[in-house]
Amino acid sequence: MRLRLFSIAAALVGLVLVAVSATAAMAERRVALVIGNAAYQNASSLTNTVNDAAAMTRMFEKAGFDVVESRTDLGVVEFKRALREFMFTAQDADIAVVYFAGHGIEIRGSNYLIPVDAKLRSDYDADDEAISLERLILAVEPVKQLRLIILDACRDNPFLRRMQRAFAARAVTGGLATVEPSAGNTLIAYAAKAGSVSYDGAGPNSPFTTSLMKHLFEPGLDIRIAFGRVRDEVMKTTTNRQEPFVYGSLGGTTIALVKAPDQPAPALARVGSGDSRYDIQRDYEFAERIGTQQAWESFLQAHSTGYYAGLARAQLAKLKETAEKAVPSVIAAREPQNRDDSESVSRAPPPKDQLKSEPKVQPPRDQAKSEPKPQRKDRQARLEPKPEEDDLKVAPAASAIAVDPCKQEEEKLARLRANPVRDEIIRLERELTCKRLKLQVVRLRESVVGELPAATGATAVAPAIPIEDTANSLPQSGVSAAVPQPKQDGGNAAARRPDDCQKDQETLVRLRAVPTRADVARFERELSCERLRPQVLRLRESLGVD
């Protein structure tokens, strides 16, 4: 009797072990590596790449990936180390995804991803200072089912103009080259077709990444169909200027990054005409795993009543409340500083040394009095700096992405380069929080204001000189009309005979008022007064002229 009971127990244990092994075999192991490079040291910085990387990291985590590694602003050594570590992570994985947002270039048919510390003075340096696409493919080679590399890096080559050619036939172009992965079950997705460039868009994320987040993580959707929908949406968003493209091939089975919900067991499938508690609980857990408004709304469409429906409505209301609170905070972060503060600074009396060296540009009192009030209001409105319309556009509430302070200050710096106002430049330099923009702001200030005295708490800046009035009085070339010059040495400069330095000084003042890249570059070449060359150099650097 005991022997029979022991045999039955052993058989039951064996069945349990077989069931557990089968369940473990069915579970897929999914891993992802996300890299976003923005703060390039020797090339133009990018605004959206860090936001894109953060958004994709959140999507992989919500999709239930077993490992999600996120890196930003990697140099060449850190980039290689991250790929080496991820290669070991992906050795026993079924699905592995590498996502990169940043600069990428093509050199003689080979594709390279650019670390933030790359210099690339010559195309010969690419193998040492950049990361080849083949290195990424090698990192995911041990994966069993799907190897996916996503590159939002098809931008203009920032090193193209100054890169020297080590070999006459070695071509360097914008965008990326066509690639044909040799390993099976490998897909390489470009944000734009080979040889073309992608766009960052006006929102917090690029059009390509925005569409990826919408379609790539749809449960049960085959990855080839998902990328097809991404292509159609990006082409519609960019009016057919950008066409995403996928290289590589897969087999005939359906492969999705997020598996569809499992079918319920027959014994628990239905109880009468309604869903069983097991079905509802499973659907609730899956919606909670996704965690988006769309997931909760889909759950409520399938299960509109009951205990779990009430919980789902509470979760949906919580998400909407969080999104609504995020909108004012984003708007407040993007709004320009209080106008009262700027007016109080601009009305403060300037230092005595600035009163001697700087002319007062203002209309005569008689003219101001005789000018009609509507015209005075229009003129005042034109002189006041206005925030860009894009600053008032807020990202979709559902994303609730935090505003990057560097992005705000970068936008303000771009506006001041196009329309330089003395007070705004000085204020930006004093309140700057983004360290990587410090040098650019200093150069812009030196080119427009010059060297500042040691700052104190009570030091007030000179009133802003309206650039618009100067621009209206100058021709388009910005170098042929005369403007009033600062008085020096108590007004005795008018009695002196103008020399080359005085002529160059006059041209420099006009170029500061209406700076254009072509005029500044030409003026630097033709400059005859060497003591003005550092100021001209600063003006050129503030405009981004190489």
Instruction: Name residue 70's amino acid.
Output: S
Residue numbers of the domain that contains 421: 339-376+394-488+496-542
Query: 9 in a domain, yes or no?
Result: no
Average pLDDT for residues 396-423, to the nearest whole number?
73
How far apart (Å, rounded) are the C-alpha atoms in residues 194 and 175? 6
Are 224 and 323 in a shared domain?
Answer: no
Are 198 and 288 in a shared domain?
Answer: no
Structural domain ending residue among the three candidates 315, 332, 349: 332
Are 311 and 454 in a shared domain?
Answer: no
Query: 10 in a domain, yes or no?
Result: no
| Average model confidence (pLDDT) across the chain | 75
Q: Say which residue the tokens 């021709």 belong to.
A: 475
CATH of residue 74's domain is 3.40.50.1460
Structural domain ending residue among the three candidates 300, 317, 332: 332
- Whether the pLDDT of residue 378 is over 60: the answer is no
Average pLDDT for residues 456-481, to the nearest whole number?
39
Band of the pLDDT at 538, cuts 50, 70, 90?
confident
For residue 194 the two structure tokens come to 């080979």
Are 303 and 358 in a shared domain?
Answer: no
Which helix (H) or strand (E) segment holds residue 471: the answer is helix 467-473
pLDDT digits (tens, 9 = 90+) for 241-258: 999 999 998 888 889 999
- Of the ranges 148-162, 222-236, 427-441, the best mean pLDDT one: 222-236
How far apart (Å, rounded) are the C-alpha atoms in residues 476 and 53? 42
Query: 456 in a domain, yes or no?
Result: yes
Pairwise pLDDT comparison (366 vs 437), residue with the higher score: 437
**% of the chain beyond a pLDDT of 70:** 66
Alpha helices by DSSP H, 108-202: 126-129, 133-139
For residue 335 the two structure tokens come to 């709004």
Are 44 and 153 in a shared domain?
Answer: yes
Average pLDDT for residues 501-529, to the nearest whole number?
85
pLDDT at position 318 is 87
Task: Order the strands of the 131-132 sheet from edge to edge.
Answer: 131-132, 110-113, 104-107, 172-173
Query: 145 in a domain, yes or no?
Result: yes
Instruction: Name residue 428's amino acid.
Output: L
Are 243 and 314 in a shared domain?
Answer: no
Instruction: Name residue 537's amino acid.
Output: L
How does DSSP assign 315-378, residue by residue?
HHHHHHHHHHHHHHHHHHHHSPPPHHHHHHHHHSPPPHHHHHHS------HHHHHHS-HHHHHH
Query: 254 in a domain, yes or no?
Result: no
- Of the ranges 35-39, 425-429, 447-451, the best mean pLDDT one: 35-39
Average pLDDT for residues 290-304, to the nearest whole number?
88
For residue 445 the two structure tokens come to 């200030």
pLDDT at position 536 is 83
For residue 325 the two structure tokens come to 């609170």
Least confident interval from 52-66, 132-146, 476-490, 499-513: 476-490
- Whether the pLDDT of residue 136 is over 50: the answer is yes
How does DSSP assign 270-299, residue by residue?
EETTEE-HHHHHHHHHHHHHH-SHHHHHHH
pLDDT at position 229 is 95
pLDDT digits (tens, 9 = 90+) for 78-119: 999 999 999 999 988 999 999 999 999 888 888 999 999 998
- Whether the pLDDT of residue 11 is over 70: the answer is no
How far apart (Å, rounded) are the C-alpha atoms in residues 208 and 485? 51
Query: 2 in a domain, yes or no?
Result: no
Query: 14 in a domain, yes or no?
Result: no
pLDDT digits (tens, 9 = 90+) for 176-231: 888 888 777 899 999 998 888 888 877 889 999 999 999 999 999 999 999 999 99
Q: Say which residue the tokens 């953060």 belong to.
A: 54
Average pLDDT for residues 40-65, to the nearest whole number?
92
How large is the C-alpha radius of gyration of the chain? 31
Average pLDDT for residues 154-172, to the nearest whole number?
67
Are 370 and 504 in a shared domain?
Answer: yes
Are 411 and 370 in a shared domain?
Answer: yes
Are 399 and 521 in a shared domain?
Answer: yes
pLDDT at position 53 is 95
Average pLDDT for residues 395-419, to the nearest whole number?
70
Query: Do the Cβ atoms of 89 and 30 come closer than 8 Å?
Result: no
pLDDT at position 499 is 65
Are 134 and 215 in a shared domain?
Answer: yes
Are 280 and 241 in a shared domain?
Answer: no
Q: Say which residue the tokens 């003005």 belong to.
A: 532
pLDDT digits (tens, 9 = 90+) for 338-368: 444 444 444 445 555 554 444 554 554 544 4
pTM over 0.85: no
Query: 256 in a domain, yes or no?
Result: no
pLDDT at position 321 is 85
Are 39 and 115 in a shared domain?
Answer: yes
Q: Structural domain tally of the chain? A: 3
- Whether the pLDDT of residue 51 is over 90: the answer is yes
